[in-house]
Amino acid sequence: MADFDFDLFVIGGGSGGVRAARMSANYGARVGLAEEFRYGGTCVIRGCVPKKLLVYASTFSQNFADAAGFGWEVGETRFDWLKLRDAKEAEITRLEGIYLRNLENAGVTPFHQHAVVTSPHSVRLADGREFTTKHILIATGGAPFVPGFQGSHLAITSNEVFDIGRLPKRVVIVGGGYIATEFAGIFNGLGSHVTQVYRRDLILRGFDDDIRTHVQQAMRGRGIDILLNEDIAHIEDMARHLEVHFKSGECREAGLVLYATGRNPNTAGLGLAETGVKLGPNGEVAVDEWSQSSVPSIYAVGDVTDRLALTPVAIREGAAFADTVFGANPTPADHSLVASAVFSQPEIGTVGMTEAQARETGPIEVYRATFQPMLNILAGRDEQMMMKLLVAGDSRPDSRRVLGVHIVGPAAGEMIQLAGIAVKMGATKEDFDRTVAVHPTAAEELVTMREPVSS
């Protein structure tokens, strides 16, 4: 056997790469890891974690307003963006330190610099050092982008938005996906006037249509201006503000233009194609169910594979890689029935098929409940909650199995985590029905819906 410097060299210190590195080291492998930016990756540094902190911050404005209906008198309030920004930075710095310590405690050798693949069994660092390795794992994630147009350099992405110097009075957000929708809620809750621009006729493409419609209407009810079938033509810098010109001819002022129209896998400049690694049309590393690329010694996990871009999925893929390659326990990455949440306002929790997807598989029953949650009654808010179950029809081999659960409203993300366990286990509608409701909760609607709305 060839004598390598490492058994595994990981490029990328995000959630997937760190999990794979730590587990592989715990299995006894000699592991090196190179991260050129900050340990923790997109999720910890400029994604899930800071975003959720901003979501929490933005909901207080509604809480202050709602408190009056419950007998509270709340005085004048004032929001300090810089105080929130600095608190956020302190927290992600703390988490970054934990990531690095966990790597070192596991015996991983970290390198804080860029690395490239120079052969199926070697990598070179930015300082010129080159190491041989039996296996290479690419875990470099993805990055947002701004398409090219006149004035595109004046827009920012989710990479930069967490560190802006002041809270803008007017924000234009381009995109209809979960990132754009979440930031629309954040800035609206913090007091900015928000315009969300989407080139299609309904936001949140890929989610269940009832959920999409419900959330879009609720966002408009909260004061977010959603422009559909629209896009930016160009942006002008007017010194004191940006002037955003739309393709329809309309023009609006903004203090900030945020683009959230997708992400590209980070594979440029890694030497992958030169080493023979097959890349997909978006630059993603093409891998099989074992996360192995076209070069047998090179693997990839996380967003760089463009499979299912969720942090917990990257972590599971990293763990499956370590189990397979170093744990003598071949484990394919499981991407079925992954529950997820969108921290829009109102919040979404979803697992399984959409109604359109379920109907393509055969006859189904649809159970749906729309109601005013108790939290909103005394507050005087007419915003509704929605819950939806999709159930396999009686004539199917999987008769009565719950195919999808979709929730919109307070704590939807918390609820869907538990509903996801039941769906993953193959629960039937009757299993839900046999479960005694927890009262008074919104979640009890999941086990009390008796009559389908359609078939």
Residues with active-site annotation? 439
Q: Are 304 and 321 in contact (CB under 8 A)?
A: no
CB 284 within 8 A of CB 306: yes
Identity of the residue numbered 297:
S
Side-chain half-sphere of 174: how many Cα atoms within 13 Å?
26
Rg (CA), the chain: 24
Cα distance between residue 333 and residue 216, in whole Å: 33
Distance CA 20, CA 29 (A): 11
Q: Could you tell me how many residues make up the chain?
A: 455
- 230 neighbors 216 (Cβ within 8 angstroms): no
Nearest to 232 by CA among 149, 176, 153, 154: 149
**DSSP codes joined into one string, 84-130:** HHHHHHHHHHHHHHHHHHHHHHHT-EEE-S-EEEEETTEEEETTS-E
What is the 8-class DSSP label of residue 284? P
How far is Cα 138 from Cα 236, in angstroms, rounded to an integer?
39
